[in-house]
Amino acid sequence: MAVRTADDPYGLDSLTLDGLRARPGAKWAGVDGRLAAWVADMDFPIAPAIRERLVELAATDVGYANWPRVYRSPLPELFAERSEQRFGWAPDVDRLHEVADVMQGVQVAVHHLSRPGDGVVVHVPAYPPFLATVAEMERRLVEVPAALVDGAWAFDHDELDARLRRNPARVLVLCHPHNPTGHVFTRPELEQVADIVTRHRLVVVSDEIHAELVHPGHPHVPFASLSTEVAARTVTVTSSSKAFNLAGLRWAILHSGSDELHSTLRALPQHYLGAPNVLAVAATNAAWRHGDGWQQAVAARLDANRQLVGNLLAEHLPAARYALPDATYLAWLDMRACGFDGDPAATLRQRGVELSPGPRFGPHGEGFARLNFATSAAVLTEIVAAMGRGEAAES
């Protein structure tokens, strides 16, 4: 149970290792007692308004929702308002489709917008399910690699253009903000990408699930907001789940600027994509109406933690290279100079810490691992100290 104090009204610092290890979810229950810094869930207690609403519903009624249509909740309208207020992008409510999760939305889009053998562009390192999607759907992977430029992760958009000239493709899956590097694509970058995809006639499937997790100085610009023409070749998929730590509740939303996908989705029988989960809808509603205070406290903590990661690495694992992420609570660690093998997460597992293995993010992930720093400063300190603990013994 979260312990709330005047200094810590949301209990973000009240985490204990015993409490975390008693949790039933994958992050802590799936790691055999190791310190969990892998899957993208935050350790923080959820916003009080969400918890209260979920408890209230559980205590009264989790039957069919009283919405005008059971397969469409009130969230599309709220999402459109929120998006306009936060990001200056007003999605067309009629083009919003609720889905169970973001990856379902991405796969629905890739399935309907391309065929086996078609090229699908992905920036690498990539969120592993993107790579799995391309392989499972028998599309041809067109990779655009990341590089460290002036201490920050960046993507070479001229290289995107050059690769598309050699490898025609139908779809670009844009991870914006980018997991695992934490790169936030700036407006000029997005404009360059938009120019390229327009010339090569690609549809962009923009996964914006991390949009509300940007750090100061890195505003999120929805890809579809660039222009009417760009919107017409963009499918945006997002959710409340990352920003409010609700991944298990399963709710996401897809906006199809593409007429082709929109008419395909409209033509589906009503229940084909399933109906939204009443608890997820209630939680998202509470998050969006009453979650600002919690969200600001979490944002401040994540901003402090991304700095803390750098300090802790300098102390405990100085050979690791780390570029401050512009967004998210994920640190993409270059451990090639640490003397580990191609999969540093395997060595770190022996030291009692679970990170996400870099090679799962594609071949460019050899020698890398992804650290999730969405936890209290005390737990983060334990995690990075444990990562470095074998150093003295092994050197």
Binding site for ligand PLP (CB under 6 A): 40, 101-103, 127, 175, 179, 207, 209, 239, 241, 247, 252
Identity of the residue, 10 or 127, whose beta carbon is nearer to ligand PLP in the bound complex: 127
Query: Do residues 122 and 131 touch, judged by C-beta distance below 8 A?
Result: yes
CB of 106 to ligand PLP, least distance (A): 7
Identity of the residue, 40 or 317, whose beta carbon is nearer to ligand PLP in the bound complex: 40
Nearest one of 268, 278, 267, 256 to 75, comparing CA atoms: 278
DSSP per-residue codes, 226-244 = S-HHHHTTEEEEE-SHHHH
Place of tokens 């409510």: 93
**What is the pairing mode between strands 35-36 and 96-99?**
unpaired
Q: How far apart are CA 106 and CA 130, in angstroms?
A: 8
CB of 16 to ligand PLP, least distance (A): 25
Identity of the residue, 87 or 127, whose beta carbon is nearer to ligand PLP in the bound complex: 127
Identity of the residue, 12 or 247, whose beta carbon is nearer to ligand PLP in the bound complex: 247
Identity of the residue, 114 or 241, whose beta carbon is nearer to ligand PLP in the bound complex: 241
Identity of the residue, 102 or 331, whose beta carbon is nearer to ligand PLP in the bound complex: 102
CB of 37 to ligand PLP, least distance (A): 14
DSSP per-residue codes, 264-333 = HHHHS-TTTT-PPPHHHHHHHHHHHHH-HHHHHHHHHHHHHHHHHHHHHHHHH-TT-EE---SBSSEEEE
Write out the H or E segment, with its range, that includes residue 199.
Answer: helix 187-200
Q: How far apart are CA 170 and CA 14, in angstroms?
A: 48
Furthest-apart CA pair in the chain: how many Å?
66
CB of 277 to ligand PLP, least distance (A): 12
CB of 394 to ligand PLP, least distance (A): 32
Identity of the residue, 107 or 347, whose beta carbon is nearer to ligand PLP in the bound complex: 107
Write out the H or E segment, with its range, that includes residue 86.
Answer: helix 75-87
CB of 253 to ligand PLP, least distance (A): 10
Write out the H or E segment, with its range, that includes residue 386.
Answer: helix 377-388
CB of 207 to ligand PLP, least distance (A): 5
Apex CA 283: angle with CA 281 and CA 286, to 5°? 110
Nearest one of 219, 256, 287, 207 to 96, comparing CA atoms: 256
Identity of the residue, 13 or 101, whose beta carbon is nearer to ligand PLP in the bound complex: 101
Identity of the residue, 146 or 338, whose beta carbon is nearer to ligand PLP in the bound complex: 146
Q: Which residue is at the shortest CB distance from ligand PLP?
A: 101
Strands of the sheet with 203-207, listed across from one edge: 96-99, 252-256, 234-238, 203-207, 171-175, 119-124, 140-149, 152-155
CB of 100 to ligand PLP, least distance (A): 8
Coil vs helix vs strand at 46: coil
CB of 208 to ligand PLP, least distance (A): 9
